[in-house]
Amino acid sequence: MSESHSLPKVLIDEAKLKARIVELGETISQDYMGSEIVAVCVLNGSFIFFSDILREIKLPIHCEFLSVSSYGDKKVSSGEVKITLDINEPLENKHVILFEDIIDSGLTLSYLQNNLKARRPASLRTCSLLMKPESLKMPVTVEYVGFKIGPEFVVGYGMDLAGKYRGLPYVGYLEQ
């Protein structure tokens, strides 16, 4: 690999990811004991996290997928959120957990939470692998957070930069 295409530096390694996902799965399983949940994966960045955490949640789960666009091929959100794939399952009177890869500005999450609340679920909670508290532009509620991180742009473990780096088994960052 050329120097301009070197691998990202490790921010959160595989072992830490796995351990935290097991903890999150146990907490969600306890919180929803005796209930069935509708788990909504926000594509594309969340698919690896979603797949791994579902195996740790010991409950009946119905899976749904939602795709939104706010970044395009850029490192900064455009602020405009577009749903490009909507869920099929009616959510009324169901316990819903929205699974995100990263909460950055909070704009996309706020939009999605409002959209899903309008479908009248019995409950709606959010689980995000990563959260950047200092980058929030609006207050959002995230009940389950894997890791709080700084402002760096992260890739790997499903997250990408213009389609690259999704397959890395760790969360990394690119040095400027």
Q: Are strands 95-103 and 37-43 parallel, antiparallel or unpaired?
A: parallel
Cβ neighbours of residue 97 closer than 8 Å, sequence gap 6 or more: 28, 37, 38, 39, 40, 124, 125, 126, 127, 144
Q: Is 104 a catalytic residue?
A: yes
Report which of 105, 108, 158 is spatially closest to residue 129, judged by C-alpha positions: 158
Alpha carbon 171 to its chain centroid, in Å, reads 13
Which residue type occupies 72?
G
Catalytic residue among 31, 52, 86, 104: 104
Q: Are strands 82-85 and 123-131 parallel, antiparallel or unpaired?
A: unpaired
Distance CA 14, CA 19 (A): 9
According to DSSP, the β-strands at 171-173 and 9-12 are: antiparallel
- Residues catalogued as catalytic: 104
